[in-house]
Structure 1
Amino acid sequence: MGNRTAAEATESKSEHLPLDVPTMRETAARLLAEDAELPTLEELETATLLLRGMIMVAIPEVETAAGKLPKDDVPRACALACVGEAHMRLRLEPSNGTLPAAVAHAQRLARSVRALTDHYVNLGCES
């Protein structure tokens, strides 16, 4: 009887974990709230990295869910448009090195996170 390595065990049993929608929405809301305080540069860098990671994780989930719908389905088209916009926002950087530009960039990422979670829920992925 052969021994299985940890890598083999992991590959054969890939667990799928759903997105943590409440945490993603809460993270986005911190930057999008009307009464949000201006973050420090360090807080902003952390938030931007976190939002980018959330987008990278959410995109394939939304794409997969949308792909299960008929090609002429309106929710599918809307979800895939959102995915396209999220991809575009991942490629962009703040327009200049100022704090206001960095905040605006992070807010755009936060709007993408919020939109992706909305599509994720609307496509029936969250139980």
Structure 2
Amino acid sequence: MPNRTAAAEAAQRPVDIATMRASARRLLAEGAELPSFGELETLTLLLRGHIMLLIPEVEKAAGPLPEDDIPRACALACIGESRMRLNLEPGRALPAGIAHAQRLARSVNALCDHFENLPVVN
């Protein structure tokens, strides 16, 4: 079997980082237009889905690394924080819902960073 480059292997991974980052930017970009309540609900569900897809992928990449590896520890801490955020309920008011979705968006970005930076695991 021929050697594959890291980019080719990353292309085989079932995660669309560009789409996930675009979803996060919708809430985090400077000057971003705030969503309506209905848009916010959809965006929050989308971000939750991204996190649920990313967590096992980042765990899979971090798992084989040595236990004292700093990138591994950072990735696992990010996973724990992301899981905690998945368990939180947004407030009923629009500002509270936006703040909740922004926290989810930051988790998506952080998990994407770890996904891109950790070694590819087959």
Superposition TM-score, scaled by structure 2 size: 0.86
User: In the TM superposition, what is the alpha-carbon distance from 1:64 to its structure 2 partner?
Assistant: 0.7
User: In the TM superposition, what is the alpha-carbon distance from 1:17 to its structure 2 partner?
Assistant: 4.1
Aligned partner of 2:95 among 94, 100, 105 = 100
Superposition TM-score, scaled by structure 1 size: 0.83
Q: For residues 49-90 of structure 1, give each alpha carbon's deviation from its aligned partner in whole angstroms, at most 9, with x where no partner exists.
A: 000000001000000100011110000000000000000000
Aligned partner of 2:38 among 37, 42, 46 = 42
Q: Which runs of 5+ in 2 are unaligned?
A: 1-11
Identity %: 68
Aligned partner of 1:20 among 16, 22, 39 = 16
Q: Which runs of 5+ in 1 are unaligned?
A: 1-15
1:67-106 aligned at under 5 Å gives the runs: 67-94=63-90, 96-106=91-101
User: In the TM superposition, what is the alpha-carbon distance from 1:25 to its structure 2 partner?
Assistant: 0.6
Instruction: Read off the aligned partner of 1:68 and give its amino acid letter.
Output: P
Q: What is the alpha-carbon root mean square deviation over aligned residues? A: 1.1
Partner of 1:122: 117
CA distance in 2, matches of 1:38, 1:72: 41
